[in-house]
Amino acid sequence: MSTNTVDKPRKVTTATLRKMKNEGEKIAMLTAYDYSMARLVDGAGMDIILVGDSATNVMAGNATTLPMTLDEMIYHARCVARGTERALVVADMPFGTYQGDAIAAVHNAVRLMKESGCEAVKIEGGAEIRESIERILSAGIPVMAHLGLTPQSVNKFGGYGIRAKEEAEAEKLLADAKMVEELGCFALVLEKIPAALAEKVAKSISIPVIGIGAGSGVDGQVLVVNDMLGMNQGFRPKFLRLYADLQTVITDSLHHYISDVKSLSFPSPTEQY
């Protein structure tokens, strides 16, 4: 009897990520919001796929992440989960689904897991949302924390500038990182903070720390897939490396198609029945 497991890639779990940190292997994480992209990202060997609430920026054209609803997130996360075999699928809890009311938070996290098939949730904040983190963890749901620039708080911050440059904010961030580790979060995202602080945090806690605009001294990196593939060349923060120029590739292809249609070169005799 064949077990047929020879070519099957090993599923990434929260335990895999912990082992990777312990062994010094960097963790590659990228966003995806739909089935087709998830298949490509997963097939390439990504460790974590994040169904970020940045979906509402890049998919729906909203200026901030605040408008994203739980139903919209469930839809995107379900599409991604369907297209993923190996990577750990983490979905963002949208703004307003976990702040303030810890009972509502666990109810919303359960819905997100149950209705989408994602394997963990990510939530933004530290001590202020401690009770929600505890409740969600107590339901057996793995939680990835997110500190530093937390885009759902853009109106409190007054913009998307670098966070924790001042001593007091840096100290609070380090304390929050230790708190989320102690509570049992399986990983932490640090966004747009000084590289030296991010490295200090990664060395101070045992759970994997994934950075975006947080330098190289952390345990892994995350980017927004549409940004790193160059689909929106208007967005060029310092931390972003462009791995492709899909804006040019797609626009050139579209011009080519329009020209072929208008000149009657498409479809050719071999492209019809």
Residues 204-243: x/- map of binding to ligand KIV (CB under 6 A)? --------x---------x-x-------------------
**31, 97, 116, 132: which one binds ligand KIV (CB under 6 A):** 31
Torsional sign, CA 160, 141, 170, 17: negative
Tokens representing residue 223 in the block: 């980017």
Instruction: Output 53 or 176, the one with its CB closest to ligand KIV.
Output: 53
Least distance from C-beta 266 to ligand KIV, angstroms?
37
Neighbours of 117 (CB within 10 A): 17
Residue 77 CB, nearest distance to ligand KIV (Å)?
12
Give the C-alpha separation, 40 to 233, whole Å: 21
- Reading the block at residue 273, the tokens are 């029945």
Q: Which amino acid is at 71?
A: D
Least distance from C-beta 29 to ligand KIV, angstroms?
8
Least gap, CB of 273 to ligand KIV (angstroms): 43
The active-site residue out of 119, 181, 191, 199 is 191
Amino acid identity of 164? Answer: A
The span from the CA of 206 to the CA of 158, in Å, is 32
Among positions 177-196, residues that touch ligand KIV (CB under 6 A) are 189, 191
Looking up tokens 């997110």, which residue turns up?
146
167 is catalytic: no
Please tell me the distance from the alpha carbon of residue 175 to that of residue 196, in angstroms, as a whole number.
Answer: 16
Applying the rule CB under 6 A, the residues between 33 and 62 that interact with ligand KIV are 50, 52-54
* Closer of 161 and 269 to ligand KIV (Cβ): 161
What is the size of the binding site for ligand KIV (CB under 6 A)?
A: 11
Binding of ligand KIV by 92 (CB under 6 A): yes
Q: Which residue is nearest to ligand KIV (CB)?
A: 52
- Which residues does 80 contact at the CB level (< 8 Å), separation at least 6? 32, 33, 34, 35, 37, 38, 49, 51, 89, 91, 118
Which residues are catalytically annotated? 191
Which residues contact ligand KIV by CB under 6 A? 31, 50, 52-54, 92, 189, 191, 212, 222, 224
